[in-house]
Amino acid sequence: AGEARTDNHKYKATFHKKAKMIPFDQVEDYIGHAPGGVCPFAVKPGVKVYLDESLKRHTEVYPAAGSSNSAVRLTIPALEKYSDYTAWVDVTKTA
């Protein structure tokens, strides 16, 4: 969820490595979307999508939709369906 922040301890316990941002100039090559439009849809082959438990507090979410000025409103079941997600994870802390 937008107000959630990565909890480094939870992240490392889940993925067995330290959390780090992909360098800005490498995001589009790696994911398939430019920074600002990174979304869980139509990502490059081999890119896994994980959904954080913090999203479940909402009935609808507004993920980016592939560009810096677009978003889409989805229910949680629709997000699961269209993102082809790998798993739900708990790697954030809330403010």
Share of the chain above pLDDT 90, in %: 80
Residue 22 reports pLDDT greater than 70? yes
What is the b/e burial string over 28-41, where b = at least 16 CB atoms within 10 angstroms of the residue's CB? Answer: eeebbbebebbbbb
Q: Which domains does the chain possess?
A: 4-94 (3.90.960.10)
Q: What is the pLDDT of residues 61-94, one digit of tens each?
A: 999 888 888 899 999 999 999 999 999 999 999 6
Lowest mean pLDDT among 27-31, 48-52, 55-59, 64-68: 64-68
pLDDT of residue 95: 61
Read off the pTM: 0.88
